Amino acid sequence: MVDDERDVRQLLSTYLNLQGFSVITASNGREALARLGEVQPCVILLDLMMPVMDGVEFRKRQQQDPRWSAIPVVCLSAKHDAEVIAQSMNLAECICKPFDIERVADLVRRHCSSGGSC
């Protein structure tokens, strides 16, 4: 899960952990790329607007690396045109903030088996 909002990271990681998933968090795209070198997640939950490296730049770099390019990415964003941006980035789905936490969990379930990393 990549989001610069600490509360969002904590909420989602706690909830998904309770659902049986192992969640790794990053506060920006640069940190997320470093984490990809450590673990192979089954899905990436990605905010678009972040400091240091935003979601668009992260996705470009993720797609350029064959080790990570097949990992599905779900956009979680408050950006008004997030769905249009998500389509242009070839993302699995886009959920607008504020989001329904159970909808996010359902998406994770679709991409991961219980106990997988997200």
Degrees, nearest 5: CA angle 10-62-68: 90
Bridge partners (DSSP) listed for residue 76: 95
Q: What is the pLDDT of residues 20-48, one digit of tens each?
A: 999 999 999 999 999 998 888 999 999 99
Give Cα separations from 63 to 2, 19, 82, 97 (angstroms).
16, 29, 19, 24
pTM of the model: 0.89
Report the residue count for the chain: 118
The per-residue pLDDT for range 63-90, each reduced to its tens digit, is 999 999 999 999 998 877 767 777 788 8
pLDDT confidence band for 115 (50 / 70 / 90): very low
User: Which structural domains are found in the chain, ordered by start?
Assistant: 6-111 (3.40.50.2300)
Question: Which residue type does 89 have?
Answer: M
Q: Contact 101/7 with Cβ under 8 angstroms?
A: no
